[in-house]
């Protein structure tokens, strides 16, 4: 190789004089496409913005000492709420007016917001300058939990958490789940979750009940269904979907012996045992089936 020659990989890997390489480089730059130029401009702009942002972050501690009001929390935006009042969510944050942004602990604020009964999950984002965004995922009341003795009614979500007293709200169409006496509000309970799942299976099979007992009857009988008339169905352990399919077909047949039964026992494989009892009161049948009741949202 002669002195002064360079390698140019774009030219079939052959040596080329330096002067020619420079001329080629100038020629390539002159022919750069508009798209390439736009990309380079975007890269330069992003680099500049990143530098400005880094400078702002670096200056925040100094600004917080000299002008704390500049970095104070000015506003809170709440999204995703339907049942929980936005004012209550903001109050749950526990932020005083003028709180410096640098002192805000986002994970701690999220934990505070999630103590609100209607809030299942929350995300807290700090926005500059001085803004906080709270995104909320609310609980959906799917049933009514009966806690303690005597039972107290709580709204029950799909995860088995009794989260809020029902009070005077209308619970028409909601199945009541009778849970363990030591269950505590605000905590997930596996047996409540089992009752909620069972309520969904009942709806699929068109079986209307007023109550599902997952904890209070004899363990060998559980879960136990209580019909509007007071008659019971004992499911026992295992394959609830298949048992409920058979029960739904039995109720749909509207046989007189089924209507007069006070208890239907489904714990014996393919056999169902009907047990009699005192005659139903006037105007009611012993066991009722039919389509599930409507499921309106809570009111009041």
Q: Residues 128-160: pLDDT tens digits?
A: 778 899 999 999 999 999 888 888 899 999 999
* pLDDT confidence bin for 218, thresholds 50/70/90: very high
Beta strands in the chain, from DSSP E residues, in sequence order: 5-8, 14-17, 75-79, 119-127, 131-138, 143-147, 152-156, 162-165, 176-178, 211-213, 224-226, 232-234, 263-268, 271-275
Q: Is the pLDDT reported for residue 13 higher than 50?
A: no
CATH domain 143-275 topology: Rossmann fold (3.40.50)
Report the distance separating Cα 231 and Cα 246, nearest Å.
17
Q: Residue 199 is encoded by which pair of tokens?
A: 């309520």
Report the distance separating Cα 150 and Cα 129, nearest Å.
52
pLDDT (0 to 100) of residue 74: 86
Q: Residue 283 is encoded by which pair of tokens?
A: 């105007």
Report the distance separating Cα 25 and Cα 16, nearest Å.
13
Within a 10 A sphere around the Cβ of 238, how many other Cβ atoms? 8
**What are the domain boundaries of the chain?**
21-66, 68-138, 143-275
Report the distance separating Cα 260 and Cα 287, nearest Å.
7
Which H/E stretch holds residue 59?
A: helix 34-66
Q: Which one of 3.30.572.10, 2.60.40.420, 3.30.1490.20, 3.10.20.310 gives the CATH number of domain 68-138?
A: 3.10.20.310
* pLDDT confidence bin for 22, thresholds 50/70/90: low
The whole model's pTM is what? 0.66
- What is the share, in percent, of the chain residues with pLDDT greater than 70? 68
φ, ψ for residue 68, nearest 5 deg: -60, -30
- Cβ neighbors of 260 (< 8 A, separation 6 or more) are 276, 279, 280, 286
- What is the share, in percent, of the chain residues with pLDDT greater than 90? 54
pLDDT (0 to 100) of residue 53: 43
Residue with tokens 């109720």: 251
Q: Which bin fits 13, alpha (ψ -120 to 50), beta or left (φ > 0)?
A: left
């Amino acid at each position: 190789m002669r002195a002064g020659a360079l390698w140019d990989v774009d030219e079939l890997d052959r040596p080329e004089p330096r002067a020619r390489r420079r001329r080629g480089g100038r020629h390539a730059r002159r022919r750069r496409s508009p798209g390439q130029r736009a990309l380079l401009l975007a890269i330069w702009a992003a680099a500049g913005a990143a530098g400005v942002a880094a400078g702002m972050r670096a200056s925040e501690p100094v600004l917080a000492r000299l002008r704390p009001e500049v970095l104070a929390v000015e506003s809170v935006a709440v999204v995703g709420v339907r049942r929980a009042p936005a004012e209550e969510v903001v109050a749950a944050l526990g932020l005083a007016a003028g709180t410096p942004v640098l002192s805000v602990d986002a994970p701690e604020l999220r934990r505070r917001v999630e103590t609100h009964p209607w809030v299942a999950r929350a995300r807290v984002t700090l926005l500059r300058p001085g803004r906080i965004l709270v995104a909320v995922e609310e609980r959906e009341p799917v049933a009514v939990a009966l806690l303690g003795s005597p039972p107290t009614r709580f709204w029950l979500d799909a995860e088995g958490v009794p989260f809020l007293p029902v009070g005077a709200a209308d619970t028409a169409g909601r199945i009541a789940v009778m849970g363990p006496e030591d269950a505590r509000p605000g905590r997930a309970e596996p047996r409540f979750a089992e009752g909620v799942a069972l309520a969904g299976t009942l709806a699929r099979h068109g079986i209307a009940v007023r109550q599902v007992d997952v904890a209070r009857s004899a363990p060998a009988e559980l879960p136990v269904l209580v019909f509007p008339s007071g008659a019971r169905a004992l499911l026992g352990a295992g394959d609830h979907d298949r048992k409920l399919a058979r029960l739904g077909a039995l109720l749909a047949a509207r046989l007189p012996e089924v209507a007069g039964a006070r208890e239907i026992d489904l714990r014996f494989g393919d056999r169902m045992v009907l047990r009699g009892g005192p005659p139903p009161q006037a105007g009611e049948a012993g066991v009722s089936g039919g389509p599930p009741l409507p499921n309106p949202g809570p009111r009041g």
